[in-house]
Structures are given as structure tokens and as C-alpha cells.
């Protein structure tokens, strides 16, 4: 991923730094990750139900301020938060400390071909990250990173934005013919891949995953932008919730 994009992500977290050690911020990041938590719980109970949380190594990929990780660390899981933003991870560390929770934070670009976490995980959670990776080669590199970091019985779980026929594109953005959403900064930056759900299914299969769950959500399952909450649901992206494993 290019350094401009990493910088943009990092800058987006700077306003939250002043909220450090703030209970309101912790409450907010935990609340906003409840939807994903529900999915993770469902998969854990169904496929890893015989294992206690304390036995599980979990990584939240693109975790940002790591709301989901706070929930999972509280349950006793051994949690690693991975993000390319140092600022987000720093805020997460503060939130974890104020909650007396232990988590590991790793600042990493998961699309880098040499990205490595030096251990494998029972649950790798895509925390709304995959749709942030727009270019095909970077998506392939990320999915290969995931494969290499899953235990043989592990699951890759996540929730990702997908395309629908008619979509609202806010001013300052454009959607190209490959469903890449660009945003105008000083240059145009490829910000999101709002792929088609059937193509996403193929992408997972072609990347060597076995698909256990693949649910299409006609409604937008998570709020990317507070302004979107005011808009009719049928012109917002839909989403897919998935659970994959190694064959």
C-alpha cells in the first residue's frame, strides 16, 4: 500500500488522541464493534465451541482503535491488534490499559509481501479491512498473508462492503468500472473496493479458502460514515459476512 494512504489513515485517528483515557471513547469503540462481535461469537460457538477463549490466539486485522479486541481480551483471548496506523494502535493501547486488559499491538501493512506476525492464529478477523484494499495485487497479498497466519483449524472471519446496482456516491468520490471508489485529495486515491458479492466469493475460492459461511446482507451492516445513516438503505453498499478456513 502506498505511503500516502498509510499517512491518511494515520491522520484520521489524530483527532481521537485528545480523547485518550476517556471513558466515552472506549464506550464508543466498543459499541461500534458489537456487530462484528456478534459474528465472531457465532463462528466461535459453532466451530470452536469446545475451546475456552483463553486458549485462543486472535488477531484483529485493520483493528484501528481495536474495539473488538477489547471485547475479546475481556473474555480472556490472547489478542493481537494489527493496523498500519501507529496513532490508532497507540490509542488502543491506552484504552486497553485503562480497562486493565492486555493486548499486543503490531503496526504493519498487511498487503506487504513480506508482512509477518511470526505466529499463527485460531481466529483472524477482518475488521472492515478487506474493502479498504483496492488493488488486485494487494488484495491477493493480504489473502495470502491470512492463509499463512491461520492454524490448520483456524477461521478467517469478517464483514465486507459489497456493491449493489444503484449506489449513492458522495461528492468528491468516484466509482470506476472495476468498482474501485476513489477519493479526491490533492490527487485521486483508490480508497475502497466495493466488489460484487459473487466476485468476492470467487476471490476467496481462488485464493485457496474453503467457505463455511458467506451471508449477503442487503442492508448496510455497519456505519462507515455517520452521514450515511441519514440516507435510504437501498442506495448504500450492501455487505457480506463470511467465515473461511483452510481446505
Ligand X SMILES: C[S@@+](CC[C@H](N)C(=O)[O-])C[C@H]1O[C@@H](n2cnc3c(N)ncnc32)[C@H](O)[C@@H]1O
Site for ligand X contains 130 (CB under 6 A): no
83 binds ligand X (CB under 6 A): yes
User: Cell numbers at residue 99, please?
Assistant: 480497562
Q: Looking at 64, 158, 190, 237, which residue binds ligand X (CB under 6 A)?
A: 64
| By the rule CB under 6 A, 129 interacts with ligand X | yes
Q: Report the candidate in 40, 81, 34, 62 with the shortest Cα–Cα distance to residue 222.
A: 34
Is 110 a residue that touches ligand X (CB under 6 A)?
A: yes
**Residue 123 in the binding site for ligand X (CB under 6 A):** no
Q: Find the part of the chain contacting ligand X (CB under 6 A) among 37-45, 62-70, 174-182, 210-218.
A: 62-70
Q: Does residue 122 touch ligand X according to CB under 6 A?
A: no
Check residue 85 for interaction with ligand X (CB under 6 A).
Answer: yes
CB of 175 to ligand X, least distance (A): 17
- Which residues bind to ligand X, rule: CB under 6 A? 1, 9, 32, 62-64, 83-85, 88, 108-111, 127-129, 132-133
Amino acid at each position: 500500500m502506498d505511503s500516502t494512504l498509510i499517512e491518511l489513515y494515520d491522520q484520521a485517528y489524530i483527532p481521537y488522541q485528545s480523547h485518550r483515557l476517556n471513558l466515552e471513547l472506549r464506550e464508543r469503540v466498543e459499541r461500534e464493534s458489537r456487530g462484528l462481535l456478534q459474528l465472531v461469537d457465532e463462528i466461535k460457538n459453532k466451530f470452536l465451541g469446545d475451546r475456552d477463549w483463553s486458549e485462543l490466539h486472535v488477531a484483529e486485522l485493520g483493528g484501528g482503535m481495536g474495539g473488538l479486541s477489547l471485547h475479546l481480551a475481556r473474555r480472556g483471548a490472547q489478542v493481537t491488534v494489527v493496523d498500519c496506523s501507529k496513532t490508532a494502535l497507540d490509542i488502543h493501547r491506552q484504552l486497553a490499559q485503562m480497562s486493565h486488559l492486555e493486548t499486543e499491538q503490531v503496526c504493519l501493512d498487511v498487503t506487504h509481501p513480506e508482512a509477518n506476525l511470526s505466529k499463527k492464529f485460531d481466529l483472524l478477523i477482518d475488521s472492515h479491512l478487506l474493502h479498504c484494499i483496492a488493488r488486485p495485487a494487494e488484495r491477493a497479498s493480504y489473502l495470502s498473508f491470512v492463509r499463512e497466519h491461520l492454524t490448520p483449524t483456524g477461521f478467517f472471519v469478517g464483514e465486507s462492503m459489497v456493491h449493489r446496482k444503484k449506489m449513492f456516491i458522495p461528492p468528491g468520490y468516484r466509482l470506476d468500472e472495476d468498482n474501485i471508489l476513489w477519493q479526491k485529495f490533492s490527487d485521486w486515491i483508490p480508497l475502497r473496493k466495493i466488489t460484487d458479492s459473487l466476485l468476492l466469493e470467487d476471490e476467496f475460492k481462488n485464493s485457496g479458502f474453503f467457505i463455511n459461511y458467506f451471508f449477503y446482507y442487503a442492508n448496510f451492516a455497519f456505519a462507515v460514515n455517520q452521514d450515511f445513516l441519514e440516507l435510504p438503505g437501498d442506495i448504500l453498499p450492501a455487505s457480506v459476512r463470511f467465515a473461511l478456513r483452510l481446505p
